[in-house]
């Protein structure tokens, strides 16, 4: 009998089928066992990367997530930033950069999973570790310990986030992307001083989290005493030696630090990709099945969100995606290859534990073998010596500090120290911002200004006896707190104004003039200054501007670390030798700046534009209009010429700027040796230079013309020197030897065909519409040096340049086999390589 259906019936049936299929293919069960996370009954080897949603813009998210997926990530990990979401108790913000649901959905749309680290303490170089300041003022509260008022708030916020996720069906158990959640953060590192209450707190936190019934597992990182209801995980530069506290939980690495954070006053950290790849491979070699890059994209600490003290505005982190969201090469590409290589071993890795054996001093083999599958990792953990080892009857070259991955226990698909990805040398193109400024009346500059008054100018100022701690006074409503007093002097005299502050920086004004400044640093926030001053007969005003540069985010009782001028404040007379202590006299206080109250950051109000623009004047607000630089490349502002302050573009804060805070002269090696254990100080660069000159202005904050830039300058600068810097790529470089493995992508076709492809050197211009425009260097034989300074060796093929030109010029990408087939043999019996540097236009 034929079934007769109307069009509407058909539609309904189709919808039903699609619906059921969607449910069936989406709702996932997530559990775990000793080996791995188990998703829908299958153990998985997963690669994850951290992207913190408020450190970029919603407009950037899809691209960052897609680049993460292209780089081989399965999971995006993010913290949840309590103080951004609940700046005032009970008043929530989930808009714009705080659109957590939007972010999680963007990850889902790309088909990736999410690890949601709720915390809600997060550390993260984020102001006050992510805690809202109002927590501190709840009567009887003690943070991060077994304390009822604290636990009530922590539970309320955690439950709120879980509820939000559930309402949007974002847990994997509901068909969403979230496969894992974290409660607390590295408490185990700092819990000793909290005494026995630490233990009860951690038990409570685990129970509380589990009771929220997300349907997916919870983790606690760096918590060896984590209860069995949660998975304890590892954070660090290496976690291969980590063992979970239970035999029934998998080995998970929640933070593999891909670089390190930058501080104002510090040099720029870098972690070589050879070492990062080594750490990753070592982890999977020794039984790990889930690792996360902290950070995969670090981004920017916009506004006053950075922690500290002294965390810089850039949170680039030397991550695989740079601050601007562009691929950092060869880091991104090499790690992508590492991920592919590891995934080729997944079947064997999930089937069994590795069998680990020594193949000699500092040489370790791990074999995953059951039934028909076998994968192996061979590691040389020696920091100096390369080695030749025999494994299963075959011989392998293992460079020092490297791991070779053998998906079939025989052929090497990748060695962590041999990079097939081309390096990109970034550069910034400077462009004046004043060129396209609309005339505002100020001669030649396009700038107007307003002076911020020295000392007390707001009606809500108040007077107290003695010196107040700053954070308890301002509740972090502003970076700034004025301490004002005056002294009566009978006869004029000279003295040293001695000021001691808990930090983080201060500017001292005497009789309205900047007399001196002092600043702490990331190692010691305290400030102590002795400023020579001359007092006139009569009344003399002393106005001290104390400021914070990001509140402490780490350590036991970090929330109680104070700031501000707690004294003593003294006048040490150089004329008469007496010391006058001003600490306990009457002081008048003003929280924040007048300009902040008047909303100058938005650009409104009456700005002064007269023929001469005040330059190098402290406490000055500046404003200008500008057109966005053409094109779509990321934009930064170069603050060279300015002192210290904060900047806003169209009312949005791009963060604190401080180009005059210079990194120490020494401590940056000429070349960075990736071999040997990495630490944050190992491979810094930019010694003796400003820690941060360039400040990211997200494209989506800009209109094509008529943008408003406002600066608040504390110490004095020349805003006409400001310029745009747009991110360019100067050149691409690659150096591939005959002993490099062939590209990872050849593995499957090679295995099927039973052949072994030769290594290839591949280049690809990063931006759309770009092609390789010139070959700056090409040499086949024994070239040496590094990108930008390659040189020919004694043995070289004379035709290398023309061969590379023919293969690459005019193309977006090219790929050349590195062998005598391509170049002939300039020196028989000698190991040869190909080095190339090209430009893209």
Q: How far is the CB of 70 from ligand GAL (least distance, A)?
A: 25
Report whether 436 contacts 709 (CB < 8 A): no
Between residues 185 and 720, which has the closer beta carbon with respect to ligand GAL?
185
Give whichever of 185 and 289 is closer to ligand GAL, judged by the CB atom.
185
* Residue nearer to ligand GAL on the CB measure, 275 or 452: 275
Name which of 261 and 401 has its Cβ closer to ligand GAL: 261
Shortest CA distance to 124 belongs to which of 295, 314, 273?
A: 295
- In whole angstroms, the minimum distance from the beta carbon of 663 to ligand GAL comes to 18
CB of 684 to ligand GAL, least distance (A): 15
Closest CB to ligand GAL among residues 122, 450: 122
Give 296-351 as a 3 state SS string: EECCECCCCCECECCECCECCCCCCECCCCCECCCHHHHHHHHHHHHHCCHHHHHH
484-508 burial: b if 16+ Cβ within 10 Å, else e: bbbeebeeebebbbbbbbbbbbbbb
In angstroms, give the least distance from the CB of 35 to ligand GAL: 25
Helices 100-109 & 61-70, crossing angle to 10 degrees?
40
3-state class of 202 per DSSP?
Answer: helix
List the one residue out of 762, 784, 767 whose CA is nearest residue 831.
784
Among positions 50, 57, 235, 742, the unique one binding ligand GAL when judged by CB under 6 A: 235
522 binds ligand GAL (CB under 6 A): no
Smallest gap, in angstroms, from Cβ of residue 602 to ligand GAL?
A: 32
Interface mask (CB under 6 A) for ligand GAL, residues 114-133, using x and -? Answer: --------xxxx--------
Measured distance CA(51)–CA(55) in Å, rounded: 8
Measured distance CA(771)–CA(664) in Å, rounded: 40
Instruction: Measure Cα distances from 71 to 171, 190, 332, 336, 488 in Å.
Output: 24, 34, 7, 5, 68
Site for ligand GAL contains 314 (CB under 6 A): no
Q: What is the per-residue binding string for ligand GAL in 165-204, x denoting contact by CB under 6 A?
A: --------------------xx------------------
Least distance CB 294 / ligand GAL (angstroms): 6
Nearer to ligand GAL, 261 or 587 (CB): 261
CA distance 436 to 445: 11
Which residue, 72 or 119, is less far from ligand GAL as judged by CB? 119
Cis peptide before 398 (omega within 30 of 0): no
Binding residues with ligand GAL: total (CB under 6 A): 9
Comparison of 188 and 333: residue with beta carbon closer to ligand GAL: 188
Active-site residues: which are they?
Answer: 186, 255
Of 764, 763, 756, nearest to 739 by C-alpha is: 756
Q: Select 125 or 153, whichever has its Cβ closest to ligand GAL.
A: 125
Query: Min. distance of Cβ 121 from ligand GAL in angstroms?
Result: 9
Cβ closest to ligand GAL, residue 186 vs residue 275: 186
Return d(Cα 338, Cα 347) in angstroms, integer: 16
Confirm if 586 and 465 have CB atoms less than 8 A apart. yes
- Helix or strand (DSSP H, E) at 100: helix 100-109
Answer for the pair 282, 238: CB distance below 8 angstroms, yes or no: yes
DSSP string, 438-492: PP-SSTTT-EEEEEPPSS--STT-EEEESPPPHHHHHTTS-SEEEEEEEEEESS-
The two structure tokens encoding residue 789: 């300074």
Closer CB to ligand GAL, residue 84 or residue 734? 84
Residue nearest to ligand GAL (CB): 123
> Comparing C-alpha atoms, which of 840, 824, 832 is closest to residue 776?
840
Q: Which of 186, 187, 167 is nearest to 178 (CA)?
A: 167
Cis upstream peptide for 309 (omega within 30°): yes
- Residue 26 CB, nearest distance to ligand GAL (Å)? 31
Check residue 261 for interaction with ligand GAL (CB under 6 A).
yes
Minimum CB–partner distance for residue 186 and ligand GAL (Å): 5
Q: How many CB atoms lie within 10 A of CB 836?
A: 30
CB 500 within 8 A of CB 526: yes
Complex with ligand GAL: residue 184 or 713, whichever CB lies closer: 184
DSSP state for residue 192 in the 8-state scheme: G
Rounded Cα distance between 527 and 537, Å, is: 29
Least Cβ distance, residue 657 to ligand GAL (angstroms):
22
Instruction: Name the percent of the chain in helix, strand, coil, to the closest 5.
Output: 20, 35, 45
Instruction: Say if CB 42 and CB 30 are below 8 A apart.
Output: no
C-alpha distance from residue 702 to each of 14, 102, 650, 728 (Å): 45, 22, 8, 19
Q: How far apart are CA 529 and CA 489, in angstroms?
A: 22
Q: CB of 292: closest distance to ligand GAL in angstroms?
A: 11
- Strands 569-573, 493-501: parallel, antiparallel or unpaired by DSSP? antiparallel
Q: In whole angstroms, how close is the CB of 77 to ligand GAL at the nearest point?
A: 11
CA–CA dist 78, 55 (Å, integer):
11
Cβ atoms of residues 255 and 295 within 8 Å: no
Return the number of the residue (194 or 261) whose C-beta is nearest ligand GAL: 261
Shortest Å distance, C-beta 709 to ligand GAL: 30
Q: What tokens appear for 637 in the block?
A: 């502002």
Positions in the binding site for ligand GAL (CB under 6 A): 122-125, 185-186, 235, 255, 261
């Amino acid at each position: 009998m034929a079934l007769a259906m109307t069009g509407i019936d058909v539609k309904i049936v189709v919808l039903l089928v699609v619906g059921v299929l969607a449910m069936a293919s989406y709702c996932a069960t997530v559990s775990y066992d000793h080996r791995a996370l188990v998703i829908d009954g299958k153990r998985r080897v997963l690669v994850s990367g951290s992207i913190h949603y408020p450190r970029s813009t919603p407009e950037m998210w899809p691209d960052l997530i897609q680049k993460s997926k292209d780089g081989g990530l399965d999971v995006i990990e993010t913290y949840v930033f309590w103080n951004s979401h609940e700046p005032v108790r009970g008043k929530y913000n989930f808009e714009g950069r705080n659109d957590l649901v939007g972010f999680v959905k963007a990850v889902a749309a790309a088909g990736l999973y999410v690890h949601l680290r709720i915390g809600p303490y997060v550390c993260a170089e984020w102001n006050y570790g992510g805690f809202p300041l109002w927590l501190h003022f709840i009567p009887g509260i003690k943070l991060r310990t077994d304390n009822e008022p604290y636990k009530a708030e922590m539970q309320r916020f955690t439950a709120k986030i879980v509820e939000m996720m559930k309402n949007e069906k974002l847990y994997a158990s509901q068909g969403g992307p979230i496969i894992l959640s974290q409660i607390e953060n590295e408490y185990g590192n700092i819990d000793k001083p909290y005494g026995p209450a630490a233990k009860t707190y951690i038990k409570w936190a685990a129970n509380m989290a589990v009771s929220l019934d997300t349907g997916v597992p919870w983790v606690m990182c760096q918590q060896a005493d984590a209860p069995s209801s949660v998975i304890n995980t590892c954070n660090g530069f290496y976690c291969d030696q980590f063992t979970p506290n239970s035999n029934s939980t998998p080995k998970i690495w929640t933070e593999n630090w891909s670089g390190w954070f930058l501080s104002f006053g510090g040099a720029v950290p870098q972690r070589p990709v050879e070492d990062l790849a080594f750490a990753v491979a070592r982890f999977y070699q020794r039984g790990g099945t889930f690792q996360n890059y902290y950070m995969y994209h670090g981004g920017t600490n916009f506004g006053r969100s950075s922690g500290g003290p002294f965390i810089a505005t850039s949170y680039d982190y030397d991550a695989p995606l740079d601050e601007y969201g562009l691929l950092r090469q060869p880091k991104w590409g090499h790690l992508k290859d590492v991920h592919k290589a590891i995934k080729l071993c997944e079947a064997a890795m999930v089937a069994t534990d590795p069998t680990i054996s020594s193949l000699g001093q500092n040489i370790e083999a791990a074999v995953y073998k059951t039934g028909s599958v076998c994968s192996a990792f061979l590691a040389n953990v020696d920091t100096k010596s390369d080695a030749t080892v025999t494994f299963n009857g075959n011989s392998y070259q293992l460079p020092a500090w490297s791991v070779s991955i053998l998906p079939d226990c025989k052929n090497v698909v990748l060695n962590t120290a041999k990079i097939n990805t081309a390096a990109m040398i970034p550069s910034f193109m400077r462009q004046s911002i004043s060129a396209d400024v609309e005339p505002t009346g100020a001669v030649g500059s396009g700038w107007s200004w307003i002076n911020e008054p020295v000392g007390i100018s707001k009606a809500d100022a108040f007077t107290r006896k003695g010196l107040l701690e700053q954070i308890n006074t301002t509740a972090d409503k502003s970076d700034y707190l004025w301490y004002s007093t005056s002294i009566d002097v009978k006869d004029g005299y000279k003295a040293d104004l001695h000021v001691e502050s808990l930090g983080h920086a201060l500017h001292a004004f005497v009789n309205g003039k900047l007399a001196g400044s002092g600043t702490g640093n990331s190692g010691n926030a305290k400030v102590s200054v002795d400023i020579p001053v001359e007092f006139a007969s009569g009344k003399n005003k002393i106005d001290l501007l104390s400021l914070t540069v990001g509140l402490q985010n780490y350590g036991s009782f970090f929330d109680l670390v104070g700031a501000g001028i707690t004294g003593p404040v003294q006048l040490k007379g150089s004329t008469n030798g007496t010391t006058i202590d001003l600490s306990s006299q009457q002081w008048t206080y003003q929280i924040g700046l007048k300009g902040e109250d008047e909303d100058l950051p938005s650009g409104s109000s009456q700005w002064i534009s007269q023929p001469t623009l005040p330059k190098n004047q402290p406490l000055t607000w500046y404003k200008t209009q500008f057109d966005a630089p053409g094109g779509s490349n990321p934009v930064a502002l170069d603050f060279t010429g300015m002192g210290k302050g904060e900047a806003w573009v169209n009312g949005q804060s791009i963060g604190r700027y401080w180009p005059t805070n210079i990194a120490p002269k020494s401590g940056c090696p000429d070349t960075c040796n990736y071999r040997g254990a990495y630490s944050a100080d190992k491979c810094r660069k930019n010694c003796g230079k400003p820690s941060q000159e360039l400040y990211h202005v997200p494209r989506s904050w800009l209109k094509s013309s008529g943008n408003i830039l406002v600066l608040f300058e504390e110490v004095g600068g020349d805003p006409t020197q400001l310029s745009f810097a747009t991110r360019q790529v100067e050149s691409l470089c690659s150096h591939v030897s005959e002993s490099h493995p062939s590209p990872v992508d050849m593995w499957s076709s090679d295995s099927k065909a039973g052949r072994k492809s030769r290594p290839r050197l591949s280049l690809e211009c990063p931006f759309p519409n770009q092609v390789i425009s010139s070959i700056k260097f090409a040499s086949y034989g024994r070239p040496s040096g590094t990108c930008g300074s390659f040189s020919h060796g004694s043995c070289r093929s004379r035709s290398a340049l023309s061969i590379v030109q023919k293969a690459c010029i005019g193309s977006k990408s090219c790929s050349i086999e590195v062998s005598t087939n391509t170049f002939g043999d300039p020196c028989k019996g000698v190991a040869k390589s190909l080095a190339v540097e090209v430009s893209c236009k």
